[in-house]
Amino acid sequence: MKLNFSIWVSLLGFLFSTCTAYVATRDNCCILDERFGNYCPTTCGIANFLNKYQPETDQDLQVLENILQQISNSSAITDDLFHQIRNVHVPNRPTQPNVVSAFAQKSRDIIDEVIRYENTIVAHENTIQFLTEMVVSNNNKIAVLKQKTAQLEARCQQPCEDTVQIKELTGRDCQDIANKGARQSGLYFVKPQKTKEQFLVYCEIDSAGNGWTIVQRRLDGSEDFRKNWIQYKEGFGHLSPNDRTEFWLGNEKTHLITTQSTVPYALRIELEDWSGQTSHADYAHFKIGAEADKYRLTYAFFVGGDAGDAFDGFDFGDDPSDKFFTSHNGMQFSTHDSDNDKYDGNCADQDGSGWWMNRCHAGHLNGKYYRGGEYTERDSGPSGYDNGIIWATWRSRWYSMKKTSMKIIPFSRLAALGGGQAGEIKQGLGSRGDI
């Protein structure tokens, strides 16, 4: 386009140079136009016109040419961009609609992870706070313990005021100790024949030289007799030199004493009510079996005593089988965690203590301590059973004793004190006979 325009301009210049002498008039101009001055639009007139307006036209054309050049440059750049786009763009490339959702899901997962870490941090902060409070609490307790320790250390610097004197004599039982010359009641170590180690007992020795080994003592309700099997096995409570504390010697110790030889033992039950009256019941050939047999209680016969034979059962008038169902001879020992009675339920759990339960009892010296003696079904709790310290052949089943003791001695010593009477060994099953 630029080449053609130059040729044209040159041609017009040639025409203009050949017609400069020509002067146009109205006579020789076929068409007069004000734009051409005095020249007619002949070849020479046009040349003159172009010569006059060419500079401006060239200037305008140069501007247009510059604009066209810019457009051409822009078009080249645009063509290059289109070329690059064509190279990058793959026609019919499958769309990936899940790309955005995948990134969104990943972002959500990251946010969830951040939240989880924040929750973990908060939880750890709470744990740290809890542990800090615990440390403070323990430090306070340690401070109190240190203070008490200091007080005890200060007391230990003082001479001892309370002493427990344990007698030097030992033997197979308290009667053996008495036979060796002991004449004072108190704490002694005994070592039955089948035992490897000696253990402490309270021996009650009278002026006649009778040595009773105390198995059980109830005095004031200071000891809770609701214990488990192990506690009844090992014994609980406290032995004191003056025998003014409540305790259970332990089924295992009583078993070792009463089965150590062919020499039979006797059991004496001593009772005291809340009016100060006392009574007793004696049983011949008393023995407690091994733990494998659940410390089964057996005796040959009831020797006597004004307390009556509650171990043989009692007819409460509730059922013809009451006496049969409440006898104790031959019964295994039961606790709330070791049910060995003849009842569908658990007599020891209902009555709140360990004993040689049948279905359930007529005598129960480990029962609940009721001050004043008299108690009711409502006093005994939801079960409504007679769970006091009872001996039904002397006082009502709704009367709880003030004091009791169980003590054993070789039967030969008991026989020397007085005669006895035989009784039958009772065993059986049925509904609970003491309710």
In this prediction the pTM is 0.62
Euclidean distance between CA atoms 388 and 7, whole angstroms: 143
* Contacts of 18 by beta carbon, 8 Å cutoff, 6+ apart: 44
CATH assignment of 166-417, among 3.90.215.10, 3.30.70.1230, 3.40.50.720, 3.40.50.920:
3.90.215.10
For the chain, the residue count is: 435
CA gap 281, 171 in Å, rounded: 26
Neighbours of 216 (CB within 10 A): 19
Instruction: State the pLDDT at residue 97.
Output: 57
Neighbours of 413 (CB within 10 A): 18
Residue whose entry in the numeric block shows the structure tokens 């032995």: 239
Q: How many CA atoms lie within 13 A of 40 on its CB side?
A: 11
Query: Domain-by-domain residue ranges, the chain?
Result: 2-88, 166-417
- The tens place of each residue's pLDDT in the chain, 435 residues long, gives 444 455 444 544 544 444 444 455 555 554 555 555 554 555 556 666 666 767 777 777 788 778 877 777 777 777 777 677 767 655 555 555 566 677 788 788 888 888 888 888 888 888 888 888 888 888 889 999 888 888 888 877 776 655 668 888 999 999 999 999 999 999 999 999 989 999 999 999 999 999 999 999 999 999 999 999 999 999 999 999 999 999 999 999 999 999 998 889 999 999 999 999 999 999 999 999 999 999 999 999 999 999 999 999 999 988 888 899 999 999 999 999 999 999 999 999 999 999 999 999 999 999 999 999 999 999 988 777 899 999 999 999 999 999 999 999 999 998 777 644 433 333 333 445 565
Instruction: Please answer whether residues 389 and 348 qualify as being in contact, where contact means their C-beta atoms are separated by less than 8 angstroms.
Output: no
Query: Collapsing DSSP states into helix, strand and coil, what is residue 346?
Result: coil
Q: What confidence score (pLDDT) does residue 64 get?
A: 79
The pLDDT value given to residue 50: 65
363-364 vs 390-391, strand pairing mode? antiparallel
Cα–Cα–Cα angle for 269, 272, 277, rounded to 5 degrees: 125
- Per DSSP, 237 falls in state E
Please report the pLDDT score of residue 411 as a whole number.
Answer: 96
φ, ψ of residue 252 to 5 degrees: the values are: -65, -40
CB 203 within 8 A of CB 177: yes
Q: How many other CB atoms are found less than 10 A from the CB of residue 239? A: 18
Q: So what's the pLDDT on residue 35?
A: 55
